Amino acid sequence: MNNKITPVQVFMFFSQVSYSTTIGIFVRQIIKQAQFSAWIAIILGGFVGLVISYCSYLLCIRRPTLFFGQYGKDIMGKWIHYPLFTTVILANLICGALVLRYLSDFIGEIYLPGTPNWIISILFTFCSVRAVRSGAITLFRSAQGLFFFSITAIFILPIIPIKDLNFDMAVAFIHTFNMPGSWNGAMIMGSLIGEMGYIVYFYPYLVQPSNLMKSFSWATITVVFITLTDVISTILLFGPELTENLSSPTLEVIRYTRLGSFLENLDPLLLVFWIYSMFLKVSLFLYVAVSSVTHTFGLKDHKPFTYATATFMVGIALFGFQSTTDIVDIMNYGAAALLLFLDVTPTLYLMVDLFRSLFNKKDTSAHSLPDQ
């Protein structure tokens, strides 16, 4: 058990990974797309993400002792698998760099003004590198460290501005429906919860893998509930038009409300828990990229590739995005699509594997028929 990932650790890890960027980065995009129908988008997106994760689980149980990077070429063939997997590696590094640059810009602008961006990025990446080099089991185990503190802080967040909420606006959640916007918001939410499908890179480490979907279900419920409370309180406080123009709506909620000298310093405390969740997020993208490179070359130890891959990710973060405006544009138009591509890649392999198995059975049946 000490050398395996437990179902509880899966639940805690993916809960924090999913809601870290959801409430920290993508809340604004969801509200911008769906407006008062954001609650529909969140619930529908939770279902979409859970279905994507279930497809990844179905792929895992077909080869439970192997990692995704080890058997992918047997499904797709080498000529398709290697270019596709190279794209997956680059996409993970871009996603990790995007989160890293957003976080370093935010910290540098709000809390460390005057500090060079490259210093913040390198220090944060170094922490992720140490976690990745320690292995997947350590990474999942680290999610337990501040889980209850993080969850408690996130649950307290919607209560802070309760006296300032405009409850007269709540009727719009029932009478206003924006189905096209809800679908777009659901795709954003689904791409974030669908990251649980990354379990294909960790499945051989799991103990009691039969309980995996239970962990996924509870993680989905947790993330959906947290996001719903955060989105509803934010809209009731600022309205959808103002919220979609805020860079970090969730943190603006904390700053807007002052409840005494102690709670005036609450946003740095909550920021610690949020940064910890973002650390897990960046570490996830980096680990998947490193392990994919390792399995592509047919090696067993991922450590030799960690520093080189992390350096490449930092390079993308520092030089691939010219300004915060570029990051916002990518968040608005490309980030969800890139995440969806990564989420559904195991589903694509599953479909091909099922078709190949079906045709192989037909060929076997045809050859087994007696000659007339």
% the chain with pLDDT above 70:
90
Homologous superfamily of 7-343 in CATH? Amino acid/polyamine transporter I (1.20.1740.10)
| pLDDT tier for residue 195 given thresholds of 50, 70 and 90 | very high
Model pLDDT, residue 157: 72
SS3 assignment, position 5: strand
Model pLDDT, residue 364: 59
Model pLDDT, residue 40: 92
Question: In this structure, what token pair is assigned to residue 264?
Answer: 């005036």
Average pLDDT, the chain: 85
| pLDDT tier for residue 1 given thresholds of 50, 70 and 90 | low
Contact present, 26 and 281 (Cβ < 8 Å): no
Distances (CA, A) of 229 to 10, 29, 48, 74: 23, 16, 20, 44
> Among residues 182, 165, 218, which one has the least CA distance to residue 53?
218
| Integer Cα distance of 217 and 203 in angstroms | 17
> Among residues 207, 344, 198, 218, which one has the least CA distance to residue 283?
198
Q: For 261-272, what is the mean pLDDT?
A: 61
Query: Which amino acid appears at position 354 of this protein?
Result: L
- Is it the case that residue 283 has pLDDT exceeding 60? yes
Q: For 195-207, what is the mean pLDDT?
A: 93
Q: For 102-112, what is the mean pLDDT?
A: 82
Q: Which residue has the higher pLDDT, 163 or 39?
A: 39
Model pLDDT, residue 260: 44
- Is it the case that residue 147 has pLDDT exceeding 50? yes
CA angle (109 as vertex; 106, 115 as ends), nearest 5: 110
> Among residues 283, 286, 318, 281, which one has the least CA distance to residue 121?
318
pLDDT tens track for 287-307: 999 999 999 888 888 888 899
| Integer Cα distance of 306 and 138 in angstroms | 15
Instruction: Specify the pTM.
Output: 0.90
Compute how many other C-beta atoms are within 10 angstroms of the C-beta atom of residue 248: 18
- Is it the case that residue 263 has pLDDT exceeding 60? no
% the chain with pLDDT above 90:
40
